[in-house]
Amino acid sequence: MEEIKTYTKAYAIDIEEAQKERREKRAQALKSRRRKVKAAKIEAEKARRSFIAGRRFILLCVMAAVVFFVGSSAFRIMDLKAQENVAAEELKAKAEQKARLESELAMIGNKEYIEDQARERLGMVKQGEVVYVFEDGDAKGERNAVQEKESDAAGG
């Protein structure tokens, strides 16, 4: 019977060692799983951050495009407003010119207007009228200088 006891003891020792080995393997597997889970979490966090960074970049690009288009539209609107103001001023000037020309056209049949225009534009005078022409100071000075040169040339 002694052989059986030794065999059971040896078998018991083997069972305990097997249980220890199994526990160690389980602990190692658990550590390995934990490392893998931790690595997966780290990778997932990196991917999430990368995704968020990509979304931020896209959002930034969209915002920049919106700002660019709104800004260029605003400048275009301001330019068009300035052109509108210039056109309005030109229209006002043309309307004033039209009114002036229409009043002049209405006066063309008037004898007094024709007479004034003949005197003013053509320098015409009625018979018996005397016209006095007054020269500016600069024109008088030039005329005197020309006369002096002529007299010097004639006399000298």
Calculated CA dihedral for residues 31, 32, 33, 37, nearest 10 degrees: 100
The model's confidence at residue 156, banded by pLDDT at 50, 70 and 90, is very low
Please compute the mean of the pLDDT values over residues 21-28 and round it to a whole number: 92
DSSP state at residue 127: T
Say if residue 1's pLDDT is above 70.
no
% of the chain with per-residue pLDDT over 90: 44
**Where do the structural domains in the chain lie, given as residue ranges?**
2-124
Encode pLDDT of 93-105 as tens digits: 999 999 999 988 8
What local confidence, expressed as pLDDT, does residue 112 receive?
85
* pLDDT, position 64: 95
Name the pTM for this structure.
Answer: 0.41
38-42: average pLDDT = 91
Q: Give the Å distances, CA to CA, from 1 to 8, 14, 128, 156.
A: 11, 20, 176, 172
